[in-house]
Amino acid sequence: MKLYETRQAPNPRRLRIFLVEKGINLKDFEIEQLDLGAGDNLSETFKTKNPMCGVPVLEFDDGRCLSESIAICRYFELTHPEPPLMGDTAEAQATIEMWNRRMELHLLLPVAMAFRHTTGHFADRESVFPDYGADRAGAAIKIFDFLDRHLADRRYIADENYTVADITALVAIDFARVVDIRIGDRPHLAAWHERVSTRPSAGA
């Protein structure tokens, strides 16, 4: 199998962390790095693999491709069920999905929009609205505050165990540094961040 990814981007990192947590060796994949700034993901060749032009993409040996980081994680959750990162009961799966979606929609997406609209990194291919970027940065900061309260009496975001929701939150919070959003004086969030950042997978 082959992975198309971009080392600095949050969604490919999310998948890499997930794979390492599953005990899957990244060296088992052929990995091709794409330069998003140069538009490698916009080529006609890459569009045949993912018409949405995003990374990561998993290409199977027969040429079929799977995109969207959580869809790829779901594939590996089913083919490598231990340890369960998406839940092992109906209630756990639903709860983890709820929290992961919250981390995607209310944290990772606002951080990504703050990056795109305040830095203008992709201004050569999309309209940029700095005021919207600033608004999304403010939304992300509110979730930092929410998570600090949420984590006051629990070790992990969705469950008593580490899950994909923690992975999504970690990559979002780390990526937020590029728009100067930091944990700061949020002790419970900082303690959680220390716990998840010291896992071997975090360096994947």
Backbone dihedral angles phi then psi of residue 128, each to the nearest 5 degrees: -120, 130
Average pLDDT, the chain: 98
- Of the candidates 28, 19, 57, which has an alpha carbon nearest to the alpha carbon of residue 40? 57
> Mean pLDDT of successive 10-residue segments in the chain (204 residues)?
98 98 97 97 98 98 98 98 98 98 98 98 97 98 98 97 98 98 98 98 96
Q: What is the pLDDT of residue 9?
A: 98
Per-residue model confidence as pLDDT tens digits over 100-157? 999 999 999 999 999 999 999 999 999 999 999 999 999 999 999 999 999 999 999 9
Residue where the block lists tokens 């929410």: 146
Backbone dihedral angles phi then psi of residue 83, each to the nearest 5 degrees: -75, 150
Domains of the chain in start order, with CATH, are 2-79 (3.40.30.10), 90-203 (1.20.1050.10)
